[in-house]
Amino acid sequence: MTLPSPVAGEAAWGEPREPRRRGLPGGRVVTVATLLVVAAAAAEVALTESIGLWTDATLVTVSILAALVTRAGDRSLPAMMPPLAFLAAALVAGQPLVASTGGSAWTRQGLMLFEVLGAHAIWVVGATAAATVIALVRHLAARRR
């Protein structure tokens, strides 16, 4: 015979309790991180007419923070976020950087993406590597417990 739980929503006495899920949902973390990168890129384009170091530093910072605060089941999401966040920033905030002449709109858009992504590829790779390593270390640490 099992006694009722002392508090609604908790395991009954004598039954093992489920461990609390620590961390934030991965989808929300990735969404907020991506919006921060897009906002940094938009501010930088408005102030300096280019995407540069502010956006790169924001990308690396939010990638590391996202990997640190995401809950266990969603740890792979922040590792995938940096390339997609930077692409979103280039597509949204980079529109003023598209040349006004020189071929079709698709060609000009493609050239802008090529220039922006190529110039900042090392930052995107670095942010992805950092988030992946943090997720892997957190995963291995959780397995040892």
Q: Is residue 97 part of a domain?
A: yes
The average pLDDT across 66-82 equals: 88
Q: Is residue 140 part of a domain?
A: yes
Among the residue ranges 1-15, 88-102, 129-143, the one predicted with the least confidence is 1-15
135: closest CA among 84, 59, 56, 81?
A: 81
Q: Is residue 98 part of a domain?
A: yes
State the DSSP string of 12-35: PTTSPPPPPPPSB-HHHHHHHHHH
Angle between helical axes of 53-69 and 26-48 (0-180°, round to 10): 170
Question: How far is 17 from 9, CA to CA, in rounded Å?
Answer: 11
The average pLDDT across 4-15 equals: 56
Q: Is residue 56 part of a domain?
A: yes
Angle between helical axes of 121-144 and 105-119 (0-180°, round to 10): 60
Q: Is residue 48 part of a domain?
A: yes
Structural domain including 44 reads 26-144
Q: 48-52, 94-98, 99-103: which has the highest mean pLDDT?
A: 48-52
Residue 1 confidence (pLDDT): 56
Q: Is residue 21 part of a domain?
A: no
Structural domains counted in the chain: 1
Mean pLDDT over the full length of the chain: 86
Residue 84 confidence (pLDDT): 94
Q: Is residue 72 part of a domain?
A: yes
What confidence tens digit (pLDDT) does each residue in 11-70 have?
Answer: 555 566 555 567 788 889 999 999 999 999 999 999 999 999 999 999 999 999 999 999
Q: Is residue 55 part of a domain?
A: yes
